[in-house]
Amino acid sequence: MAALKDARRLVVKIGSALLVESAGGGLRHDWLESLAEDVAQLRARGTEVVLVSSGSIALGRGVLGLSGASLPLEQSQAAAAVGQIRLARAYEEVLAPHGLVAAQVLVTLEDSADRRRYLNSRATLGTLLALGVVPIVNENDTVATDEIRYGDNDRLAAQVAVTVGADQLVLLSDVDGFYTANPAVDASARRIDVIDAITPEIEAMAGDAGSGLSKGGMKTKLMAARTATAAGCALAITRGMRQNPLLALEKGAPATWFTPQTDPASARKRWIAAMKPRGEIRVDAGAAAALSRGKSLLPAGVAAVSGAFGRGDPVAISDAAGAKLGQGLSRYTAEEARAIAGRHSSDIEAALGYPGRAAIVHRDDMAL
Ligand code: GLU
């Protein structure tokens, strides 16, 4: 069973109901401060933390005095614009006393559907984490329309976990785990501690109910668990309402843990290997040897480039005789790759007329 103390890269999803008072729509400040304490502790021992936070719409509607069970799309987009700026400021203010810098990252569904944009958000989130920053992610509700939006942050959090290659995802929720039936209506319902596989039986147990503020019910949490575990990320559902919810989870608070089906690096390699290549890069013997030692493919080792591919597209990597070594995602277009083939990385800017990345195919984007 996964344990929070082992997390290297952790995504935490914070639901609206935890952040925003159900009456009045004000921010639950003390709670947020206690969450920041937990994050600071995790960061201090080397765990990288990404927060996926809901609450923009709930906060914004409080400010604007928009009531009603559900708002029309235009009003929720307007509420999100008002609420998001407060949400981001609130995180910044609670993290700063711990010496932590917050970053706001707003994404839409298209950012994960389009490979280039996906790779771009992955790179940016990776850079933020390497700089010690705590990214605060939410859906860009102000521009996302009904047809093309995540809609719920359980799903978004799972996608973020996949994007950053997280090994753990914690859904801080209004329930303390996954139950055999809806505990609100069925007294015989019991919580399951560990779920190793999401079977049809497990699926049948997930009802559809959510709380007043949050969008996701158990069904969406189960979908999130499927996405995360398939990508090698363990997922926990636990109650978030209490103070210091992450510390509580670590100390054994009730939760359900979903077991990952693989590890993030292997899942990513399988994903890359399964794509249809759009071109081929042939490498010289020195580069082939370097690749087998786990190095990135640099322009200097490229002997020939064929095909028409764009940035982020899959390419076959072959040795000088054309035998396939593996494949990877190119950081350059085919045209650019031809222009820099055989050149030293420090000559890239001179060859292209603009600066570029040192590797043509980065080791993280390669499956051999
Ligand atoms: N993105 C929405 C917000 O910040 C929340 C979606 C959800 O509750 O899952 O208000």
Query: What separation in Å is there between the alpha carbon of 138 and the centre of ligand 1?
Result: 7
Is the pLDDT at 334 greater than 90? The verdict is yes
Residue 147 scores a pLDDT above 80: no
Q: Which atom of ligand 1 is nearest to the CA of 84?
A: 4
Taking 80 as the threshold, does the pLDDT of residue 75 lie above it? yes
Q: Is the CB of 141 under 6 A from ligand 1?
A: yes
Binding site membership of 109 for ligand 1 (Cβ less than 6 Å) = no
Confidence of residue 106 (pLDDT cuts 50, 70, 90): very high
| Residue of 153, 154, 160 best suited for mutating to test ligand 1, as the one with most atoms within 8 Å of CB | 153
Handedness of CA 87, 57, 241, 245 (dihedral sign): negative
Average confidence (pLDDT) over 225-247 = 97
Judge whether residue 215 has pLDDT over 80: no
Q: Is-contact 287 302, C-beta < 8 A?
A: yes
Decide: 37 and 98 in contact? Cβ < 8 Å. Answer: yes
Which of 30-34, 143-147, 185-189 is most confident? 30-34
Confidence of residue 300 (pLDDT cuts 50, 70, 90): very high
Quote the pLDDT of residue 319: 96
Closest residue to atom 2 of ligand 1, CA basis: 54
Atom of ligand 1 nearest to the CA of 15: 8
Q: Best mutation site among 27, 51, 53, 54 for ligand 1, i.e. most ligand atoms within 8 A of its Cβ? A: 54
Mean pLDDT of 67-73: 84
Cα–Cα distance, 62 to 202 (Å, whole number): 37
The average pLDDT across 43-71 equals: 92
Residue nearest to atom 5 of ligand 1 (CA): 54
Q: Output the CA 57–ligand 1 centroid distance in Å.
A: 7
Q: Which pLDDT score is estimated for 216?
A: 55
Q: Which of 143-152, 177-186, 272-281, 312-321 has the lowest mean pLDDT?
A: 143-152
pLDDT of residue 183: 82
pLDDT at 57: 92
57 within ligand 1 shell (Cβ under 6 A) = yes
Q: Across the chain, which distance is largest between two alpha carbons, in Å?
A: 71
Neighbours of 142 (CB within 10 A): 18
Backbone angles phi, psi at 239, to 5 degrees: -75, 135
The whole-number pLDDT of residue 117 equals 86
- Hey, is 119 helix, strand or coil? helix
Ligand 1 centroid to Cα of residue 222, in Å, is 17
**Pocket lining: 16 vs ligand 1, CB cutoff 6 Å:** yes
pLDDT given at position 336: 97
Q: Residue 212 pLDDT > 80, yes or no?
A: no
pLDDT, mean of residues 87-96: 98
99 compared with 143, residue with greater pLDDT? 99
Check: CB of residue 167 under 8 Å from CB of residue 264: yes
Q: Whose CA is nearest to atom 4 of ligand 1?
A: 54
Closest ligand 1 atom to residue 139 Cα is 1
The predicted structure's pLDDT at residue 2: 87
**Does the pLDDT of residue 32 top 80, yes or no?**
yes
305-344: b (≥16 Cβ within 10 Å) or e: beeebebbbbbbbbbeeeeebbbbbbbbbbebbbbbbebe
135, β-bridge pairs: 103
Q: Quick one: average pLDDT of 236-249?
A: 97
Which atom of ligand 1 is found nearest the CA of 153?
A: 9
CA of 165 to the centre of ligand 1 (A): 22
pLDDT tier at 83, thresholds 50, 70, 90: very high
Please say if the pLDDT value at position 214 is more than 70: no
Strand 302-307 and strand 279-283: pairing? antiparallel
> Ligand 1 centre from 362 Cα, in Å?
34
Taking residues 127-138, what's their average pLDDT?
97
Mean pLDDT, residues 156-162 taken together? 96
Place of tokens 């969450």: 35
Q: What's the pLDDT at 213?
A: 43
Average pLDDT of 159-177? 95
Instruction: Give the mean pLDDT of the chain.
Output: 92
Query: CA-CA distance, 138 to 364, in Å (whole number)?
Result: 25
Closest-lying ligand 1 atom to the alpha carbon of residue 16? 8
pLDDT at 211: 43
152 CA distance to ligand 1 middle (Å): 6
pLDDT at 51 over 70: yes
Q: Is the CB of 153 under 6 A from ligand 1?
A: yes
Q: In angstroms, what is the span from residue 203 Cα to ligand 1's centroid?
A: 24
Q: Mean pLDDT, to the nearest integer, of 98-117? A: 90
Query: What confidence score (pLDDT) does residue 208 get?
Result: 58
Q: Are 42 and 12 in contact (CB under 8 A)?
A: no
